[in-house]
Amino acid sequence: MSGAQLNILVVDDEPAIRRLLVTGLGTQGYRVTGAATGGEALAAVAAEPPDLVLLDLGLPDLGGQDLLRRWRDSGLEAPVVVLSSRTDEAGIVEALDLGADDYVTKPFGMNELVARIRVALRHRLQTQGERPLFRLGDLSVDLVRRIVRLGEEEVKLSPKEYDILRLLIQHAGKVLTHAFIMQKVWGHAQDVQHLRVFVRQLRQKLRDDPEQPRYIRTETGVGYRLKAPD
């Protein structure tokens, strides 16, 4: 996806971060605007809804979570990628549950950030129309007939294992929190360990090494992410 005409709003109270992102993302062909406070961010979105938001959670006036809640309640569909410190695990989980699409912890590399931006933009397009056949490496999933294969070999999954895999496929490239997965699959909260058992079984059947995952990546303390197809 080309970024030539896409507008990214950077919401961060650190001038150095805003300058870095305006310059770095500008070289990638994006049009970038900056906001130092929650108030400035609200005004910027009202003036011109962005194609994507990079949002720091620690703002001096409104919290990033408050901004997210307001934007999602008002119908803003643009992907939101959270910028956060490595120690703010709880804040990241809350932001994802409120509708953030991904997160990047500071300090981050520009290549990593650009890759996450592209995945978030692609994911938003994919959710508008689910593809009947999903392919990722040797893994193929027929979402109509509920058939899972590794190469030519059919993989037998339990109903809950398949539900978890299908949910990850629907949001390929996006990190899903434990709470989100449990609510969608079971309809109510579960012990996180219960979910981990099912994910471990799913990985075993897909021959997916959690230490070097080909498919399902663990986001420690947050949830899981299925690798996005190239």
Residue 2 lies in a domain: no
Distance CA 24, CA 47 (A): 24
| Residue 4: per-residue pLDDT | 39
Picking from 70, 91, 126, the residue at the C-terminal end of a domain is 126
**107, 126, 145 - which closes a domain:** 126
115 with 96, same domain?
yes
Paired with 147 in beta bridges are: 142
Say which residues have a Cβ less than 8 Å from residue 75's Cβ, sequence separation at least 6. Answer: none
pTM above 0.85, yes or no: no
Q: Which residues pair with 56 in a beta bridge?
A: 83
Residues (pLDDT < 70) of the chain are 1-5, 86, 125-131
Tell me which residue range forms the domain holding 85. 7-126
Q: Are residues 207 and 112 in the same domain?
A: no
User: Given this model, what pLDDT does residue 1 score?
Assistant: 42
What's the CATH number where 183 sits? 1.10.10.10
**Residue 102 and residue 156 in one domain:** no
Return the pLDDT at 180: 93
Number of domains in the chain: 2
pLDDT score of 229: 84
pLDDT digits (tens, 9 = 90+) for 42-80: 999 999 899 899 999 988 898 889 999 999 999 888 999
